[in-house]
């Protein structure tokens, strides 16, 4: 943890801490403490209050992620499947961090979380905005013996996240193919799957999830698409450690079922959550757009679209899709 994270950890309780006491604890001058606190305000959008004679505090306490607290809330069978839960203060990307480990070790059951990402990524190379100590940035490593379970894995993971969000009370949400979670026309969460392996197996998969929990006000204008966070949906931000445990519980259960039964294990819930089914859509592809009516997904997770030329199927790497508004 760097000095900014160490200071935030001390301010997380919402109480006053003097610059002198912070400096003594961290071996820094009061001037250095002041500069770091200014960074927390100006660069990270944290509301750090300063009161002469009392010191500094956060306007509202921050519940930081805690690996032991998360592990304690896992279901018993899930806890056995998780090898490690590592919480980092700041990473370029939780996915990139876990992918790097695949060069040297089996990442099966490893969970990586970060309070902040400096280079978070979404599908098709899009940037994922990742302010500190506000949202959830999680990656889970999973091993498959062959490539067969990889078919339909992306929508199955989306269903797992959809189930976890329902458990926390975020109703009226759904899945926009292939794996984005939306609420009333605004994006709530995104998923990025990255794979490493040989044709004959085994395959190591890194499942990355970015979930908007309580987006700071100063980040609102930095996002180039409609979005929403759980604080808006629920009226207050949920406990992020509880939310993380729910996500891991559902991810592991879904992955285990997917290994045995494929996408069939998640298909019923996909049909409940599918935001595009029977709606006019536009598929954007390099050769030009395709229009039609979305008709759900097939057994491999491909989007079925009824066009004037007949029924077609499209995989996530081939196209991007959006509802058509005539």
Q: Which two tokens stand for residue 318?
A: 């081939």
Q: Judging by beta carbons within 10 Å of its beta carbon (0-12, 13-18, 19+), is residue 200 exposed, middle or buried?
A: exposed
Is 322 an annotated catalytic residue? yes
Encode the chain in three state secondary structure: CCHHHHHHHHHCCCCCECHHHHHHHHCCCHHHHHHHHHHHHHCCCCCEEEECCCEEEECCCCCCCCHHHHHHCCCHHHHHHCCEEEEEEEECCHHHHHHHHCCCCCCCCEEEEEEEECCCECHHHCECCCCCCCCEEEEEEEEECCCHHHCCHHHHHHHHHHHHHHHCCCCCEEEECCCEEEECCEEEEEEEEEEEECCCCCEEEEEEEEECCCCCHHHHHHCCCCECCHHHHHCCCCCHHHHHHHHHHHHHHHHHHHHHHHHHHCHHHHHHHECCCCCEEEEECCCCCEEEEEEEECCCCCEEEEECCEEEEECCCCCEEEECCC
C-alpha span between 192 and 107 (Å, rounded): 16
Is 123 an annotated catalytic residue? yes
Is 80 an annotated catalytic residue? no
- Candidate list 57, 121, 187, 240, residue with the active-site label: 187
- Candidate list 60, 126, 272, 322, residue with the active-site label: 322
- Candidate list 10, 123, 143, 324, residue with the active-site label: 123
Q: In 3D, which of 286, 321, 288 has the Cα closest to residue 302?
A: 321
Q: Judging by beta carbons within 10 Å of its beta carbon (0-12, 13-18, 19+), is residue 67 exposed, middle or buried?
A: middle
Give me the active site residues, please. 123, 187, 322
């Amino acid at each position: 943890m760097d000095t900014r994270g160490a200071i935030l950890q001390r301010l997380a309780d919402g109480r006053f801490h003097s610059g002198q006491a912070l400096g003594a604890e961290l071996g820094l001058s009061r001037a250095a403490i002041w500069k770091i606190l200014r960074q927390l305000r100006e660069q990270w959008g944290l509301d750090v209050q300063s009161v002469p004679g009392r010191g500094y505090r956060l306007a509202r306490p921050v519940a930081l992620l805690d690996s032991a607290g998360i592990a304690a809330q896992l279901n018993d069978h899930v806890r056995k499947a998780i090898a490690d839960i590592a919480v980092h203060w700041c990473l370029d990307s939780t996915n990139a961090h876990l992918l790097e480990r695949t060069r040297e070790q089996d990442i099966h059951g490893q969970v990586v979380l970060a309070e902040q990402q400096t280079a978070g990524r979404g599908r098709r190379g899009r940037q994922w905005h990742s302010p500190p100590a506000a949202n959830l940035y999680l990656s889970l490593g999973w091993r498959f013996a062959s490539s067969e379970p990889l078919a339909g894995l992306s929508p199955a993971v989306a269903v797992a996240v959809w189930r976890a969000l329902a458990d926390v009370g975020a109703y009226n949400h759904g899945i926009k193919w292939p794996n984005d979670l939306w609420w009333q026309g605004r994006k709530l969460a995104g998923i990025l799957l990255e794979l490493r392996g040989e044709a004959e197996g085994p395959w190591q998969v890194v499942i990355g999830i970015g979930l908007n929990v309580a987006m700071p006000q100063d980040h609102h204008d930095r996002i180039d698409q409609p979005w929403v966070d759980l604080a808006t949906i629920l009226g207050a931000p949920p406990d992020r450690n509880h939310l993380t445990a729910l996500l891991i519980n559902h991810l592991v259960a879904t992955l285990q079922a997917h290994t045995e039964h494929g996408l069939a294990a998640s298909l019923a819930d996909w049909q409940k959550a599918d935001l595009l089914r029977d709606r006019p859509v536009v598929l954007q592809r390099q050769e030009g757009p395709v229009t039609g009516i979305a008709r759900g997904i097939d057994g491999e997770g491909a989007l079925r679209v009824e066009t004037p030329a007949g029924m077609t199927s499209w995989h996530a790497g081939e196209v991007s899709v959006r509802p058509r508004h005539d």
